Amino acid sequence: MEYKEIATPARTNMLLEKYGFSFKKSLGQNFLIDTNVINNIITASGITEKSGVIEIGPGMGSLTEQLAKRAKKVLAFEIDQRLMPVLEDTMSPYNNVTIINEDILKADVRTAIETHLNDCEEILVVANLPYYITTPILLGLLEKHLPIKSYVVMMQKEVGDRLSAVPSTKSYGSLSIAVQYYTTVEKVMVVPKGVFMPPPNVDSLVVKLTTLAEPAVNVTDEKLFFKLTRGAFVQRRKTILNNYMSLFKDSKEHKEDILAWLDQSGIQPNRRGESLSLDEFAELANHLTDFKQLMI
């Protein structure tokens, strides 16, 4: 029996009815029902027959089947046990798809790559990410320094805007810095609510992140760098001095040391965190090693 592509309202409704599936709001389930959007995602990802692709949250397989047609192998992580029989059904025509019923935040992705995608020339992530955990998924993968060449991912537009934001803009924050530390960011397309079932409350954005060969700035201690970037944005309207007075232990006793550290790093204490560039945060992190008395 010849079926239409999954990414259509008719086929999706048929599968929903067949399996008695109901959407779980807590899992951020919004299935793509537009083949044009999927084709644009595929094009942006640059998949070839030598690519190994990781997908997160395949749902019923609307994107997965198109990945399977073009990639060497597809490895998909699906947290919802109820979707496993659906995916077994929809992916049955493809012998190059592996579905793992696991939470991507808890999965050993490195071992999964070595096990299932070890004969692929490049590893790409292509996914419609669950909106409620987009940030922990992205940062979790980036911080592991996995052998992933690029990410083409769909997310809530507001979050996507933050990834490419520049200093002194409303969207710029610790997420912008973290993503730009590891990757170059390119906006691919805005996606309207109506191409999903059920439609989300907001528009979406497809973003391409290309992993840098080396991080964007040189830091001697990555964990310290990220602690300082996060600490600078705890209260956006506060100055960098006031935010860091809250970050360091016994800061009142060490205020002069904090001021000396900022001065040595070339940072005026009355600036706000949102005005600092990646290079300036790197200066802060690298100079902090000279001030052992300042404990985070």
d(Cα 165, Cα 77) in Å, to the nearest integer? 29
Structure tokens, 66: 């198109």
**218 annotated to bind ligand:** no
Give Cα 274 to chain centroid, integer Å: 21
**270 annotated to bind ligand:** no
d(Cα 207, Cα 210) in Å, to the nearest integer? 10
**16 annotated to bind ligand:** no
Sheet strand arrangement including 150-156: 97-100, 73-77, 51-56, 122-128, 150-156, 204-211, 183-191
**262 annotated to bind ligand:** no
| Cβ neighbours around 93 below 10 Å, total | 10
Place of tokens 């083409």: 152
- Binding residues, by number, are 30, 32, 57, 78, 103, 128
- Binding residues for S-adenosyl-L-methionine, by number, are 30, 32, 57, 78, 103, 128
